[in-house]
């Protein structure tokens, strides 16, 4: 019978990313529709050269599995925002207080309510199973490092893509220009040919500046935040495993939280 | 009855920022009006693409609250210039001397005259309330760090905006060019269509070079100065709280002031 | 009679590099063929200026032998992917266990199965010959350093090439433009002349962005990985040479392997 | 009656800066005059946009006083070259020898001959007045630091100007292009309008590359040299104030002089 | 009677630099001649603006003597390749062995054969004259530092030139464009005028990418190598002057030589 109420949480969609993406592309679409014929902005070979070419080059720079993994990371880390670090710290302190008062085994009852936070859940499960605090810390830190390294790799995949998309756009436009200039006989085709040639540059600029570059920035930001929250979980699990005083845990957590996010759970 | 006259101060408008902004845009406006039809420089969809698009991308890179906060920081930190650090140091030394001569409680009388400087006021209020010097220092330093971190975040929001505004300008121009090239039948529309296409590039260049980039530079500069002045206040409040000799405080303050701003208050 | 089965391995083609290169160039080729006359994209003097010129400048920056060596490094390091570091660690631990159980001389029997990994083979051969562990480590570390240095030199050769190829493309295009502008009399030749002039820019962009730049990135990546695997071999050979406990070797190897690649060979 | 002859010196014009500036602008002027009508290169609004706009932006980034101070620094530090550091060291050693032989008060007689070097003069005047060596060093070092800081600020003002001048040139050209494109009816005005539009880009490129950028480089170089010479003066004044052996001073000076500028004054 | 044969050496032309320069310019020349009228690529005012202007700006940034010195450094360091460091080490060890066996004075006989290496010759001459090892090391190290500093200065002169040459090319092209656009009346002159205008951009690109930039890279590379070889000579001369065991010298030399260049002179 737990007299400490553990808040149940769930990380929410990162509204800023979704909103930015939709409103940015909405503006572009509006400008295209206002200007008349939207069909003139769709050209399958141009799409293939820019997207396919960027994908091909980025695959060359890394490996297929690293590029594929980046898609998963974007879905998981970029579009879902993390919890507030203060909230995570409070939750950890609640669990620690409960363990202090009623013993570590009583955590068995609250394990389910932690399932929304797999990293915390895993750590607490180890604690309940009697794994010593030092080992809990070692295992969780290794997990944390591996995640950080994977996110860094994915960030550099996105950075490379933002670098090569405009280059592929330029290459596509050069191909179009050379083809157009070789067929100057019929002046009526110059305009449309040139318009098609410019499309790859347009696609490249949109991809780099409205997709890859902001996603890389957001991934880096969210990854830093996730690492901080997971460090909070790690320190909590290790402290509970070592059966330390929760007040000492509060002090430790405040030393890693940013100034504006520090918590004061006890008195 | 205070025989030390505490100078009352108020931070003034940062004339350079206002002046630069007005004269820069004035020059652009003059050039546009001299050249004839100013209406040809206003195009709602172009404004939307560049300003809206830049806003959308920057929101993607950060979060909505961080972008909104940047506007407030600009208003507070960029347009208002800080006090002279020497003046701030003298003021702190005056308060310290008063506290030394007539006791800490006498500061009650001068608290009102410090309200123009909220950070100093807060510190002094804590001292008068009997908060120990160490705690005053801890609390004020935490506040100071949080402010510096928020300013750094806002600076990077402005830097990103300066980076993406020209990119959105290019994207807008490419949309305009593709639309124009698809309709080359009527030669009389080529000129105006091209003029409109170039407008987004123009907006992007103006926003990046005349607004975002200088504001970022100014914010960084004013933030550094504000941090130094607040450190002066912090050291003063902590020293008074610890009931130290004001001469020792003078020495401490001079060690952090830039060479040209050092003060000599006592003899 | 070895009761430890040493896995035989062979480093495989780096599929990502080959695949990226082929699919990238395939897309370019498709776009050219779809647009009509592919012959207009082949121009011997343009090829000479861009490829020859880039080669000439890079040779100036380095020396002929360094540039030539880069080709060999690309063939060996970029197109062949390394083994999995975990696998390499397991293999080394198998050999160490065998040496522990049956004595160092018994390694004579498994030397052949290590020939696919020349660096490990060389180290083990020294151990079998009775070279002391310290000397094995010194010699292997020197080899390793020399390889890393050669790879770094080759990476910077590729980076320079990626930098100068577009510059040579621009120079070629300027030559073509000046020649075309001097002969404006016959308007029918303007288009084709301009098309030829743009070809060098096209070649330069393709070479830099689809060949040199990704190869440099891949070389750096594979070189780091190869260095890690060779460090595993080095530590293994030295440890066997010093007749240490294989469990200690496992601990040492895990300290240099990335978190996700750590091994647990002994229970 | 001083038997040591103190060389009188005066810093000379920095010929390289003047020469480079004059010959660079001479070449531009020659090219303009050779090509015909020089009047077409003068356009008041264009000058205003580029120079006024750059000034406005740089003022926004810094403060009015910092920008104004930069002009004074350019006049004093960029156009006047410093003395040879070896010569300065020899002069200091001569003064030190004189003080050693005839006492510090005898320096009264040579103070006038040092007036060409205000920093040395100030230090020596303090020594003659009996200020202790340590205090002389503290005061002079504070002066030196303040000068170095002011020069660094001025260098970054010039760097910013070099960065924003081409941006203002681009903005001016875009204004001109939009105006021209809106009035394509009369083809005879296209050429001259376009020529005027390009003028701002021309002004921006000239200002950035032939004025701001080289002045920033020169200021940095001369400032480093001036700091070294003033350090020589500082060490000399402090050493004389401490009544040290001049041979020890020579050793000290050689430890800060660049290898090629070391002196051997005593045997 | 020396039973140690001291190899006589002479640094050879740096074939890569010469070859790269000649083949690069040969390719450009071939492309120009193939395209018809080579005279259209020669324009005295354009040459003056780009070369003269770059020289003027670089002089502004540095001083006349530093720019002039760069020419001498290019001739001496860029076009002549250094000896192999291993060979230099072997030679030094031969001399050290000779000194060990027959006494320092016997080196008198081999001094002549060292004249091809002035730095080694100077050091050995001091040793034969009985200068103590410590002093030989101090003097030679000071020389070495001064040379390295001069080379670094020359490298940055070349880097600046590579930066400003394209800028001068752009300025020249803008002058030509403005002149051409002011005279659009006679359409037949547009082509040739534009061709001339583009020439400065062409010169700037060629100078920066095919001359200044590669020379800077080569100078940096050769300077590093020369410094290493001179350090070998310095350590050798100092060791002989201190009458140390040549085997100890071999160990010392190997500690600074790159892995692939280490020597094993004594069994």
Surface-to-core class of residue E7, CB atoms within 10 Å of its CB (0-12 exposed, 13-18 middle, 19+ buried): exposed
Specify whether the CB–CB gap between B233 and B123 falls below 8 A: yes
Smallest CA–CA separation between C213 and chain E, in Å? 18
3-state secondary structure of C145: helix
Contact at CB, C259 and A60, closer than 8 angstroms: no
For an interface test with C, give the residue of E19, E24, E74 to mutate (most C CBs within 10 A).
Answer: E24
Smallest CA–CA separation between A238 and chain C, in Å? 19
Instruction: Find the CB nearest A31 among B63, B172, B184.
Output: B172
Within 8 A by CB and 6+ apart from D112, the residues are none
Residue B55's closest CA among A80, A23, A13? Answer: A23
Contact at CB, C45 and E30, closer than 8 angstroms: yes
Contact list, B48 vs chain A (CB under 8 Å): 27, 30-31
Specify whether the CB–CB gap between D263 and D254 falls below 8 A: yes
DSSP string of chain E, one letter each residue: ---S-PPP--PPB-HHHHHHHHHHHHHHHHHHHHTS-GGGG--HHHHIIIIIHHHHHHHHHS-HHHHHHHHHHIIIIISBPPPPHHHHHHHHHHHHHHHHHH-GGGGGGTTGGGTTSHHHHHHHHHHHTT--HHHHHHHHHHHHHHHHHHHHHHHHHHHHHHHHHHHHHHHHHHHHHHHHHTTTTSGGGHHHHHHHHHHHHHHHHHIIIIIIHHHHHHHHHHHHHHHHHHHHHHHHHHHHHTT--HHHHHHHHHHHS-GGG------
Smallest CA–CA separation between D234 and chain E, in Å? 24
- Assigned token pair, A171: 């290459």
Chains B and E touch (3+ CB pairs under 8 A): no
Instruction: Find the CB nearest E218 among C49, C60, C170.
Output: C60
- Mean pLDDT lowest among A14-28, B102-116, B200-214, E200-214: B102-116
- Assigned token pair, B33: 């009006």
* A39 or E77: which leads in pLDDT: A39
Contact list, C205 vs chain A (CB under 8 Å): 167, 170-171, 174
Residue B1 has pLDDT above 50, yes or no: no
Note the pLDDT of residue E5.
62
Average of per-residue pLDDT across B171-184 = 90
What are the tens digits of pLDDT across the range E30-52? 999 987 788 889 999 999 999 99
What are the tens digits of pLDDT across the range B25-68? 999 999 999 877 888 899 999 999 999 999 999 999 998 889 99
| Tens of each residue's pLDDT in chain D, 267 residues | 345 566 655 556 778 888 899 999 999 999 999 877 888 899 999 999 999 999 999 999 998 888 999 998 888 877 777 788 898 999 999 999 999 998 888 888 888 888 888 899 999 999 999 888 888 998 899 889 988 998 999 999 999 999 999 999 999 999 999 998 887 777 778 888 899 899 999 999 999 999 999 999 999 998 998 899 999 999 999 999 988 899 999 989 988 888 888 888 887
Sign of the alpha-carbon torsion through E99, E104, E108, E114? positive
Counting residues of chain B whose pLDDT is more than 70, the rounded percentage is 95
B88 phi-psi bin (left φ>0, alpha ψ -120 to 50, beta other): alpha
Residue D203's closest CA among D161, D234, D157, D238? Answer: D161
Contact at CB, A178 and C192, closer than 8 angstroms: no
3-state secondary structure of C79: coil
Contact at CB, E61 and D194, closer than 8 angstroms: no
Note the pLDDT of residue A2.
43
Distances in whole angstroms, Cα of residue D137 to Cα of each of D82, D149, D258, E14, E38: 22, 18, 22, 51, 67
Counting residues of chain E whose pLDDT is more than 70, the rounded percentage is 95
Q: What angle do CA B3, B5, B10 make, to 5 degrees?
A: 160
Chains C and E touch (3+ CB pairs under 8 A): yes
What is chain C's length? 267
Smallest CA–CA separation between E55 and chain D, in Å? 8
Instruction: Find the CB nearest E57 among D24, D192, D202.
Output: D24
SS (H, E, C) chain B: CCCCCCCCCCCCECHHHHHHHHHHHHHHHHHHHHCCCHHHHCCHHHHHHHHHHHHHHHHHHCCHHHHHHHHHHHHHHHCECCCCHHHHHHHHHHHHHHHHHHCHHHHHHCHHHHCCCHHHHHHHHHHHCCCCHHHHHHHHHHHHHHHHHHHHHHHHHHHHHHHHHHHHHHHHHHHHHHHHHCCCCCHHHHHHHHHHHHHHHHHHHHHHHHHHHHHHHHHHHHHHHHHHHHHHHHHHHHHHHCCCCHHHHHHHHHHHCCHHHCCCCCC
Smallest CA–CA separation between D19 and chain E, in Å? 7
What's the mean pLDDT when you consider all of chain A? 88
Instruction: Find the CB nearest E172 among D19, D31, D213.
Output: D31
Torsion of CA D16, D22, D26, D29, to 10 degrees: 140
What is chain A's length? 267
Instruction: Find the CB nearest B177 among A23, A34, A198.
Output: A198
Q: What angle do CA B108, B112, B117 make, to 5 degrees?
A: 115
Nearest chain B residue to D148, by CA: B259
Within 8 A by CB and 6+ apart from D25, the residues are D210
Q: How far apart are the C-alpha atoms of C145 and C142, rounded to whole Å?
A: 5
Smallest CA–CA separation between B23 and chain D, in Å? 6
Nearest chain D residue to B25, by CA: D53
Contact at CB, C198 and A175, closer than 8 angstroms: no
What are the tens digits of pLDDT across the range B12-29? 677 888 889 999 999 999
Q: What DSSP designation does D17 have?
A: H
Instruction: Find the CB nearest D146 among B32, B35, B260.
Output: B260
Specify whether the CB–CB gap between A54 and A168 falls below 8 A: yes
Instruction: Find the CB nearest E49 among D27, D188, D190.
Output: D27
Contact at CB, E52 and D23, closer than 8 angstroms: yes
Chains E and A touch (3+ CB pairs under 8 A): no
Contact at CB, E57 and D194, closer than 8 angstroms: no
Q: What angle do CA A204, A208, A210 make, to 5 degrees?
A: 110
Chain C neighbours (≥3 Cβ pairs under 8 A) are A, E
Q: How confident is the model at residue E1 (pLDDT cuts 50, 70, 90)?
A: very low
Smallest CA–CA separation between A33 and chain B, in Å? 10
3-state secondary structure of C78: helix
3-state secondary structure of D110: coil
Smallest CA–CA separation between A201 and chain C, in Å? 13
Within 8 A by CB and 6+ apart from C108, the residues are C128
Contact at CB, D183 and B202, closer than 8 angstroms: no
Distances in whole angstroms, Cα of residue D267 to Cα of each of D102, D263, D264: 20, 11, 7
- Assigned token pair, E200: 């400065």
At CB < 8 Å, which residues of chain D contact B? 45, 48-49, 52-53, 56-64, 142-143, 145-146, 149-150, 160, 164, 167-168, 170-172, 174-179, 181-184
Is ipTM strictly over 0.90? no
Q: What DSSP designation does D80 have?
A: B
Note the pLDDT of residue B10.
54
Q: How far apart are the C-alpha atoms of D168 and D51, rounded to whole Å?
A: 8
Contact at CB, D218 and E60, closer than 8 angstroms: yes
What are the tens digits of pLDDT across the range A149-190? 989 999 999 999 999 999 999 999 999 999 988 877 777 788
Contact list, C61 vs chain E (CB under 8 Å): 20, 213-214, 217-218, 221
Give the N- to C-terminal CA distance of chain D in Å, as an integer.
23
Contact list, C35 vs chain A (CB under 8 Å): 175-176, 179
Q: How far apart are the C-alpha atoms of D75 and A138, rounded to whole Å?
A: 63
- Estimate to the nearest angstrom the gap between the alpha carbon of B38 and the chain centroid: 32
Contact at CB, A184 and C205, closer than 8 angstroms: no
Q: How far apart are the C-alpha atoms of D265 and D87, rounded to whole Å?
A: 11
Note the pLDDT of residue E212.
96
Residue with tokens 């259209």: E40
- Assigned token pair, D152: 């660094």
Contact at CB, C36 and A179, closer than 8 angstroms: yes
Specify whether the CB–CB gap between D69 and D146 falls below 8 A: no
- Assigned token pair, B66: 């961080």
Q: How far apart are the C-alpha atoms of E11 and A163, rounded to whole Å?
A: 43
Q: How confident is the model at residue E201 (pLDDT cuts 50, 70, 90)?
A: very high
For an interface test with B, give the residue of A29, A177, A195, A199 to mutate (most B CBs within 10 A).
Answer: A195
Surface-to-core class of residue D212, CB atoms within 10 Å of its CB (0-12 exposed, 13-18 middle, 19+ buried): buried
Residue D118's closest CA among D96, D93, D144? Answer: D144
- DSSP β-bridge partners for residue C143: none
Note the pLDDT of residue C1.
38
Contact list, A213 vs chain B (CB under 8 Å): 57, 61, 164
Distances in whole angstroms, Cα of residue A225 to Cα of each of A122, B64, C183, C211: 19, 16, 63, 36
DSSP string of D171-236, one letter each residue: HHHHHHHHHHHTTTTSGGGHHHHHHHHHHHHHHHHHIIIIIIHHHHHHHHHHHHHHHHHHHHHHHH
- DSSP β-bridge partners for residue C80: C13
């Amino acid at each position: 019978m737990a007299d400490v109420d553990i808040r149940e949480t769930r990380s929410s969609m990162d509204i800023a990313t979704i909103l930015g993406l939709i409103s940015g592309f909405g503006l572009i679409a509006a400008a295209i529709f206002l200007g008349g014929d939207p069909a003139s902005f769709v050209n399958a070979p141009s799409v293939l050269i820019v997207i396919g070419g960027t994908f091909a080059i980025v695959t060359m720079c890394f490996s297929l599995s690293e590029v594929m993994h980046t898609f998963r990371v974007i879905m998981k880390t970029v579009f879902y925002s993390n919890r507030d670090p203060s909230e995570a710290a409070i939750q950890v302190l609640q669990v620690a207080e409960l363990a202090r008062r009623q013993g570590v085994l009583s955590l068995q009852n609250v394990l389910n309510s932690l399932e929304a936070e797999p990293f915390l859940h895993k750590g607490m499960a180890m604690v309940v199973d009697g794994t010593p605090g030092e080992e809990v810390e070692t295992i969780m830190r290794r997990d944390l490092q591996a995640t950080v390294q994977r996110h860094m790799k994915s960030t550099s995949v996105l950075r490379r893509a933002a670098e090569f998309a405009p280059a592929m756009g330029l290459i596509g436009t050069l191909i179009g220009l050379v083809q157009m200039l070789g067929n100057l006989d019929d002046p009526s085709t110059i305009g449309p040919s040139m318009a098609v040639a410019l499309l790859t540059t347009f696609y490249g600029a949109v991809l780099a500046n409205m997709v890859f570059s902001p996603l890389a920035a957001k991934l880096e930001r969210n990854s830093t935040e996730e690492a901080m929250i997971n460090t909070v979980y790690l320190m909590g699990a290790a402290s509970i495993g070592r059966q330390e005083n929760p007040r000492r845990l509060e002090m430790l957590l405040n030393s890693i939280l940013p100034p504006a996010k520090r918590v004061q759970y006890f008195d």
